[in-house]
Structure 1
Amino acid sequence: MSDSKQSAAEQISNMDKLTHRTLITSPENLQYSYYLSPDFNNKINKDVPTLMFLHGYPDDAYMWAGAVPTFLSLPYPFIIIDLLGFGDSSKPVDASLYNYKTQSTSISQILDLEKVPNNVIPMGHDWGSATSQRFYLYNKHRCIGLCLLSLAYQIPSSQPFDLKTANEETSKRFGYPQWEYWNFFCRDDAANLMRKNIERFYEVNHGNFPSPIPEEKGRDIWMREMFCTPHAMDDYVTQSGAWSNRIVDLKPYAKDPDLFARFKKRMTRDGFEGPMQYYHSLKNNTMLEDEKAILEGENGARIEVPLLYIGQTGDWVCRTDLMDDAKKAGLASDLEEKVVEAGHWVLYEKPVEIAEIIKEWLGRRFPAGK
């Protein structure tokens, strides 16, 4: 179970309390799906921050469902968006459409339609963190705060991204190739293999594997084994190589059959082809010129609003110490950091703890009506 007293089915039903809407954005003609807190349009005003929640891969807006009860108890109106490629949003297979700037423009159109004031606090997990960061950088006039989960602030770079180089550098820095799984994710057959072996891919994401190394004192190293070890994810998903006859134990929350059932139904219906474009978009440097443009602006890469970062001890890809890069560069002067004992998918594992951390930060830094 998660730290919520609700079952997965009960958490999923929390979303029924929200209003679901869609918008066809221009000029790309893409549908975006989103959920509004009750009486959203009557509650938005310039004196009360508007919270905007973005999920990551391979999730959808329902990733936030376990935290919704806490958010509903707060005085802040909120919106939860299905990012492109997920949920009821469009799922194009053109990597350029997953560009941060393009998505930020689409999200702005949603906020314009709903008449949201320039008082937004983007909050994102994983790719939702990346999108929240860039939404802030492209729309500083709209935002008064920022909250990042799992993925720390990724400083814009004028240099092209090279996967081989990135893995070589992180191997030297951390002792393992941080982005090794991208070699599998960016293969032409990856989406089909995930769909055909969807239960195995679910296990890849939500497994629990205590380290047998005495010095690591039983720390869960499953993510490091699967995401940061050459060929491991491919072998596990396809039941070949070293993982041909092995099944990992799941984290307690992931054993809830309703959580897996919803994931299987959604991804069998939607496929992985769209979601994989996030990785192709960065690997193929579709955003390089946009990143350069950010750096050319005055204070372009600096986060000038209160920033809350929440990391997890069991996240071997989105390491908690990666926020140090932004701190050393002086790009996040008003930063607060929290670390939770959990894996990467913390909104399933500890939705209540995450919601309470956010609640405390909001109440202290953004008291309603002030």
Structure 2
Amino acid sequence: MDDEVTTPDGLRLAVVQRGDRSGPTVVAVHGYPDDRHVWDGVADVLAGSGHHVVTYDVRGHGRSDSPPGRAGYDLELLAADLRAVCDAVSPDRPVHLLAHDWGGCQAWHAVTGDALAGRVASLTSISGPCLDHVGLFLRRRSPRDLPAVLRQALHSWYTLAFRLPVLPELLWRSGTLPGALVRRERVPRPSTRDGLRGLELYRRNMARGLGRPEPRHTGVPVQVLVPLRDAYVTPALAVSATTFADDVAVRYLPGGHWVVRQRPELVARCVAEHVAAAEGDPGTEAPALRRARARGAALAAEGGRAGPASRWSGALAVVTGAGSGIGRATAQELADRGARVVVVDLDPAGAAETAGAIARRHGRHRAVAEILDVADDAAVAALATRVATEHGVPDLVVNNAGIAVAGPFADTGADEWRRIVDVNLWGVVHGCRHFGELMRSHGEGGHLVNVASAAAYLPSRVLPAYSTTKAAVLMLSECLRAELADDGIGVTALCPGFVNTPITTHARFAGADDAEQETRRRAAAAAYTRRGYSPERVARRLLRAVEKNLPLAPVTAEAHAGLLASRLSPTLTRALARVEPR
């Protein structure tokens, strides 16, 4: 249904309302050079889930009137327009703002001032920071901040170009600029009329907003959605706003600047969860939003700068083989950094011991133990469903569970091959399939770590079964990384090397009798102990690899050296593979 709202200075704004008018009112504010139709996909989803959704063409765009001159595009007037729309569509109840690009600029300006005092229940901002916040961000001068500031300055080149005389108009009228947006961003061709008139937003407000920035704060609950492939607003700038809101949630989304068009269902779900939390009991908020609020609080504590605390605070991780060794150390390191951990192992005592140690240090809510044979596809599927239902979709899954079989190929029996393939390869496949699908359907990205080995790229006459499974894990990880990149899901293959873990005490030596098994296990354990590389060091390297989104992460010195040798001199690695160790 089309309506009109008259602004305080007499302009008519075209307004469309849809959905249940008794439900929470969501007022969506578009950016430049869009009109209200940019919200159609999001609005349809929200309206279908019981929300009253209001979209409108801001002054100078779409079917709304245009002011007579540049002064008519002042942020104060835009904030007054927003107040007029809110009063018209929801006079007796605060509204929930949803804003993108320049819509975010004016919404932030309004909620950090007096224009919407008492009229807003929540704000969700996408790629539209407050101009004052941008000005303060660009003034950061510490060595830590300078790269992020320079990166944002490069991304913002167009803001200077739009303030030039004549040139922007020529780019619009010639079709050069709208054509570039269509090709680069894959959005519908924007209106030349809207593009030309909207230039006055930059010319009226940029110099004043950036030249004399103020630390404007708001008590309104804020959700910042951060598209990770935004070509105009970097994540560093987006999260800097966390210091200017008392209650802020930060969610990273796969997608570009126009994520509202690219992933409308995802944006609508994030908005609906934020609206529900603002309307109801905070204790019932969605797990993903709860983690986003923990991330926002950590970012605020770090001064609006993304760091280790904000990366892991409130995150949910699943670690298999966490009853001992690298898995246990990883689970404990994650918990130490603020994550909640699902501790998974085939050994009930080991899983309980790891979870108990975390609980004693950080509280019972920070770890839960799960018993699982990763070779059992149905059991892994059931665990993934249970985790999603009880705890939410994990941010990180570490497929660490594995076993070792050593000995010549001729001595390795079919049963030994089946078991090592079932655990080392199929276990990783099952974990990636079921948890990866959770991450993909959830839409907010995540990370998979598959623990391979330096044996994945170093052939050996005494480890044919183990090396084969680990090489398969490495290639699987490379393929998945390519496939899941568009969904914002990173995949890392971790190749530890010689690490002092209990895997040697449980290794199977093909062709050896029981007495020889124990002798060889003791010898292997002694050698790994002398090497002295601890699981705790591996865990720290693992998390660093996730933070840097590395495709391949060798850990120990020998793992690095082996990778280098395998790439520079395959002949050498083949020659070394023929050496029979004592």
1:202 aligned to which of 174, 178, 203: 178
Change (3 A) 1:149 1:156: closer
Task: Note if 1:326 corresponds to 2:241.
Answer: yes
State the SS of the aligned residue for 1:141: coil
Corresponding position of 2:74: 99
Aligned length: 273
1:182 aligned to which of 152, 155, 159: 159
Asked if structure 1 preserves the Cα contact closer than 8 Å seen for 2:25 and 2:90, the reply is no
For residues 191 and 175 of structure 1, the distance between their equivalents in structure 2, rounded to whole angstroms, comes to 21
Change (3 A) 1:156 1:142: same
Task: Note if 1:360 corresponds to 2:269.
Answer: no
Alignment of 1:48-67 (within 5 A): 49-67=24-42
Output the amino acid matched with 1:145: S
TM-score where L is the length of structure 2: 0.43
Corresponding position of 1:25: 7
For residues 105 and 202 of structure 1, the distance between their equivalents in structure 2, rounded to whole angstroms, comes to 30
| Offset, 1:318 | 1.1
Output the amino acid matched with 1:358: V
| Offset, 1:52 | 0.7
| Offset, 1:203 | 3.9
Output the amino acid matched with 2:72: L
Change (3 A) 1:194 1:109: same
| Offset, 1:147 | 0.7
For residues 65 and 89 of structure 2, the distance between their equivalents in structure 1, rounded to whole angstroms, comes to 20
Output the amino acid matched with 2:53: F
Output the amino acid matched with 1:318: V
| Offset, 1:51 | 1.1
Output the amino acid matched with 2:203: H
Task: Note if 1:304 corresponds to 2:219.
Answer: yes
Task: Note if 1:275 corresponds to 2:204.
Answer: no
For residues 96 and 110 of structure 2, the distance between their equivalents in structure 1, rounded to whole angstroms, comes to 10
| Offset, 1:271 | 5.0
For residues 222 and 194 of structure 2, the distance between their equivalents in structure 1, rounded to whole angstroms, comes to 34
State the SS of the aligned residue for 1:85: coil
Change (3 A) 1:59 1:339: same
2:48 aligned to which of 61, 73, 81: 73
Asked if structure 2 preserves the Cα contact closer than 8 Å seen for 1:99 and 1:286, the reply is no
Asked if structure 1 preserves the Cα contact closer than 8 Å seen for 2:86 and 2:95, the reply is no
Task: Note if 1:128 corresponds to 2:103.
Answer: yes
For residues 117 and 211 of structure 2, the distance between their equivalents in structure 1, rounded to whole angstroms, comes to 20
Change (3 A) 1:175 1:103: closer
Write out per-residue CA displacement over residues 205-248 of structure 1, whole angstroms, 9 at most, x where no aligned residue. 2444xxxxxxxxxxxxxxxxxxxxxxxxxxxxxxxxxxxxxxxx
Asked if structure 1 preserves the Cα contact closer than 8 Å seen for 2:75 and 2:109, the reply is yes
For residues 149 and 16 of structure 2, the distance between their equivalents in structure 1, rounded to whole angstroms, comes to 43
Asked if structure 2 preserves the Cα contact closer than 8 Å seen for 1:195 and 1:271, the reply is no
Change (3 A) 1:146 1:78: same
Percent identity of the aligned residues? Answer: 17
For residues 172 and 107 of structure 1, the distance between their equivalents in structure 2, rounded to whole angstroms, comes to 31
For residues 25 and 124 of structure 2, the distance between their equivalents in structure 1, rounded to whole angstroms, comes to 13
2:256 aligned to which of 343, 348, 353: 343
State the SS of the aligned residue for 2:98: strand
CA RMSD of aligned residues (A): 3.1
Asked if structure 1 preserves the Cα contact closer than 8 Å seen for 2:225 and 2:250, the reply is yes
Flag the structure with more relative contact order, 1 or 2, with Cα contacts below 8 A and sequence separation at least 6.
1
Asked if structure 1 preserves the Cα contact closer than 8 Å seen for 2:123 and 2:222, the reply is yes
State the SS of the aligned residue for 2:118: helix
Change (3 A) 1:288 1:120: farther
Asked if structure 1 preserves the Cα contact closer than 8 Å seen for 2:38 and 2:261, the reply is yes
TM-score where L is the length of structure 1: 0.65
Larger of the two Rg values belongs to structure = 2
| Offset, 1:286 | 8.0
State the SS of the aligned residue for 2:40: helix
Change (3 A) 1:79 1:187: same
Corresponding position of 1:143: 120
Asked if structure 2 preserves the Cα contact closer than 8 Å seen for 1:50 and 1:116, the reply is no
For residues 52 and 80 of structure 2, the distance between their equivalents in structure 1, rounded to whole angstroms, comes to 21
| Offset, 1:188 | 2.3
| Offset, 1:105 | 1.5
